[in-house]
Amino acid sequence: MRRQAGTRTGRLRAVAIVALVVAGLTYLVPGLPTYYVRVIDMVLIYVLLAAGLNMVVGYAGLLDLGFVAFYAIGAYSYAILASGQFDIHLPFALVLFIGGGLAGIAGVLLGIPVLRLRGDYLAIVTLGFGEIVRLLMNNLTWMTNGPQGVSRIDEPFLFGAGLNTPQDFFRLLLPLVLVALTLAWRLERSILGLGWAAIREDQDAARGIGINTTIAKLLAFGLSATLGGFAGVIFAGLQRFVDPVSFSFWESLTIVLIIVIGGLGNLVGIVVGAAVLIVVPELLREYSEYRMLLYGCALVVIILLRPRGLIDRRYNPAWLIRKLGWR
């Protein structure tokens, strides 16, 4: 966090480049064929999910293999509160907060009993928790309609306009993702983020110098879960249909993979990771039968060649922004 003396032009240049890129994307992407926009929407949703999980795994160093549970809670919140299921039709913005809130509470509830656990034990418990949530979604048929899922979910309305095409969702997701990433970035550099880094490096020493590891860990679980919940609500609004199949252990793993392959803890890596992990299977759709096989091979090869992820920790957003001219 050293700050070299910068020039005003340098900063203006960086801001201008970023603004130009964002504006360009906002203008160009909706012009692409709907299929591409849909894929980009999914990439953005996964960036949101990965940004959330990154707080727990990348910053605080707590391996969570059941993150999909919070995604599911968010999605089912919207499915139940805005559809024909119980004939409740709450507005999208309200459910966004309800879903995020419920997921956040669930995150804290998960965090409390696992405070004492570390490493693999923590990973396994979170895995179990994720599976339990999925099985509950599958079996509590009176609430969630079980394996058939909830369909005919309301179209989300935001600021009076309906969001029914992938392009609409792109215009919602892009600013949201940017805000989320910025918040995550700032959080990493805040006191809380420094506390997380201390916990990641050596939890006992962190405790020793007076960091309240309990609060820090609970906040990590809660905040990450809230982001996951947000992503879930948006996903439900985008797809207008939810079923337990979309919330399996496999999803949790995909999100973990995005973070690991992209480069742990690195927000630039998350974007790259999400892009790779969502786009590549889509590209391989032609070989759809062999898709998963190639996926598995690619996974093993990437891990063997670059166990620390594709993007090194050095190339984080600060590096990126400095490259653009902000000093």
Restricted to residues 228-267, the positions that interact with other proteins (CB under 8 A) are 253, 257, 260, 264
* E strand or H helix that includes residue 157: strand 157-158
Identify which of residues 40 and 49 has a Cβ nearer to other proteins in the complex: 49
- Min dist. Cβ of residue 304 to other proteins (A): 6
Identify which of residues 37 and 123 has a Cβ nearer to other proteins in the complex: 123
Distance CA 50, CA 260 (A): 10
Distance CA 246, CA 248 (A): 6
Site string for other proteins, 276-295 (x = CB under 8 A): -------------xx-xx-x
Other beta carbons within 10 angstroms of residue 226's beta carbon come to: 25
DSSP 173-225: HHHHHHHHHHHHHHHHTSHHHHHHHHHHH-HHHHHHTT--HHHHHHHHHHHHH
Identify which of residues 59 and 235 has a Cβ nearer to other proteins in the complex: 59
113 near other proteins, rule: CB under 8 A:
yes
- Kindly give, in sequence order, each residue whose CB lies less than 8 Å from that of residue 152, ignoring residues fewer than 6 positions away: 83, 84, 240
Contacts 24+ apart (CB under 8 A), 286-294: none
Identify which of residues 32 and 125 has a Cβ nearer to other proteins in the complex: 125
Restricted to residues 72-101, the positions that interact with other proteins (CB under 8 A) are none
- Residue 158 is given by DSSP the state E
9 near other proteins, rule: CB under 8 A:
no
For binding to other proteins (CB under 8 A), which residues are involved?
A: 61, 63, 113-114, 116-121, 123-125, 128-129, 131-132, 135-136, 138-139, 200-201, 203-204, 253, 257, 260, 264, 289-290, 292-293, 295-300, 303-304, 307-308
